[in-house]
Amino acid sequence: MLRVCLFLVLFASVCWAQDTKTEAKSDIRDLVEHHYADNNGVKIHYVSLGEGPLAVMIHGFPDFWYTWRDQMQALSKNYRVVAVDLRGYNKSDAPKGVEQYTMELLTSDIVAVIRNEKREKALIIGHDWGGSISWSLAMFYPQIVEKLIICNLPHPNGIIRELKNNPQQHKNSEYARKIQQLGAKSLSIERLSYWVKDPEVKKVYVEAFKRSSFEAMANYYKANYPREPYATREFPKVKCSVLMIHGLKDWALLPGALNDTWLWLEKDLTLVTVPDSSHFVQQDASETVTRTMKMWLSR
């Protein structure tokens, strides 16, 4: 009997090790399903993984759905996770004209994805421009936002205040003004992918950027990035719980903009800062970000 038990234990250990090894090697691209939502003729591509309550992940600049690969795998155990390609990126449509990239239309793309999933509410997770879209969804579509997770994108009021009053933030935002002025001419695949350190992952990004529209990327800045004179506005207060994760080495969005975020919320705020991470915190500190999300969501 003892030998049988030992055999079963050893067999289970080997199977577990093989499963773990297989999971570690599996690429998220082989696991996800591909979908398209239609927003008044603009096709928005997104991928899905898992079952359960809906979680929508929204990338920023310059990026695409693959940025969330680690978080998707972890959250898919409890959620139906969908990661979107914003309009202009990868496999989503890239309509012509700056007017096609207003925040109103960008948020409506995400609403179209949620409706395509036949859901009424979703956990919204955003980074960079995806974070800006996420804030806007929470402010102007509160009925569809269950909870909000923001990675490296302060509240719009915080950004405008820092642009107006913080000389360093004004200086560090020169890249955005350059994109506004030069448009697609200021962008290239080399510049867009410089931040991706893993050579194999960089190949994936280069292929995605080849499918993307540089003109569309520039239009996000032309249509939405604050211009002088920087004037604050009265945004509706966010009505849901908020988790913010911010890499403190982000040179484009300095952490001073995080101050006073609680003034613009009606419910609780959890702020987690990551000292050694830069702008792409979900990749720079993947384990920390994933663990933080899971802990916060399990409260």
Identity at 11, one-letter amino acid code: F
pLDDT band (50, 70, 90) for residue 8: very low
pLDDT digits (tens, 9 = 90+) for 88-106: 999 999 999 999 999 999 9
Identity at 218, one-letter amino acid code: A
| Residue 129: inside a domain | yes
For residue 18, the model assigns a pLDDT of 38
Question: Which residue's structure tokens are 């999933």?
Answer: 117
For residue 239, the model assigns a pLDDT of 98
| Residue 7: inside a domain | no
The answer to whether the predicted template modeling score (pTM) of the entire model surpasses 0.85 is yes
How far is the C-alpha of 29 from the C-alpha of 273, rounded, in Å?
29
Helix axes 214-224, 174-182, angle to 10 degrees: 120
Would you say 255 and 36 are in contact if contact means Cβ atoms under 8 Å apart?
A: no
| Residue 3: inside a domain | no
Whether the predicted pLDDT of 24 surpasses 60: no
**Average pLDDT, integer, range 14-24:** 38
pLDDT band (50, 70, 90) for residue 11: very low
pLDDT band (50, 70, 90) for residue 77: very high
Whether the predicted pLDDT of 47 surpasses 70: yes
Cis ω for the linkage preceding 275 (within 30 of 0) = no
Whether the predicted pLDDT of 112 surpasses 50: yes
| Residue 157: inside a domain | yes
Would you say 122 and 56 are in contact if contact means Cβ atoms under 8 Å apart?
A: yes
pLDDT digits (tens, 9 = 90+) for 202-258: 999 999 999 999 999 999 999 999 999 998 889 999 999 999 999 999 999 999 999
How far is the C-alpha of 122 from the C-alpha of 119, rounded, in Å?
7
Whether the predicted pLDDT of 151 surpasses 60: yes
pLDDT digits (tens, 9 = 90+) for 158-193: 999 999 999 999 999 999 999 999 999 999 999 999
| Residue 6: inside a domain | no
For residue 26, the model assigns a pLDDT of 73
Whether the predicted pLDDT of 290 surpasses 50: yes
The two three-digit tokens of residue 242, written as one number: 């908020």
Query: 144-162 burial, b for 16+ CB within 10 Å, e for fewer?
Result: bbebbbbbbbbbbbbbbbb
Whether the predicted pLDDT of 16 surpasses 80: no
pLDDT digits (tens, 9 = 90+) for 260-274: 999 999 999 999 999
Would you say 283 and 151 are in contact if contact means Cβ atoms under 8 Å apart?
A: no
What residues make up the domain containing 97? Answer: 28-297
* Domain containing residue 66: CATH number: 3.40.50.1820
Would you say 80 and 48 are in contact if contact means Cβ atoms under 8 Å apart?
A: yes
How far is the C-alpha of 179 from the C-alpha of 235, rounded, in Å?
26
| Residue 2: inside a domain | no
Whether the predicted pLDDT of 199 surpasses 50: yes
Number of domains in the chain: 1
Long-range contacts of 203-209 (CB under 8 A, 24+ apart): 204/29, 204/66, 205/64, 205/66, 208/64, 208/66, 208/89, 208/90, 209/62
| Residue 95: inside a domain | yes
Q: Phi/psi of residue 295, each to 5°?
A: -65, -45
Q: Phi/psi of residue 215, each to 5°?
A: -60, -40
Mean confidence (pLDDT) of the chain? 92
Question: Would you call 59 exposed, middle or buried from its count of C-beta atoms within 10 A (0-12, 13-18, 19+)?
Answer: buried
How far is the C-alpha of 67 from the C-alpha of 70, rounded, in Å?
8
Whether the predicted pLDDT of 5 surpasses 70: no
For residue 233, the model assigns a pLDDT of 85
Whether the predicted pLDDT of 3 surpasses 90: no
Give the pairing of strands 80-84 and 42-49.
antiparallel
For residue 231, the model assigns a pLDDT of 86
How far is the C-alpha of 32 from the C-alpha of 30, rounded, in Å?
6
Cis ω for the linkage preceding 62 (within 30 of 0) = yes
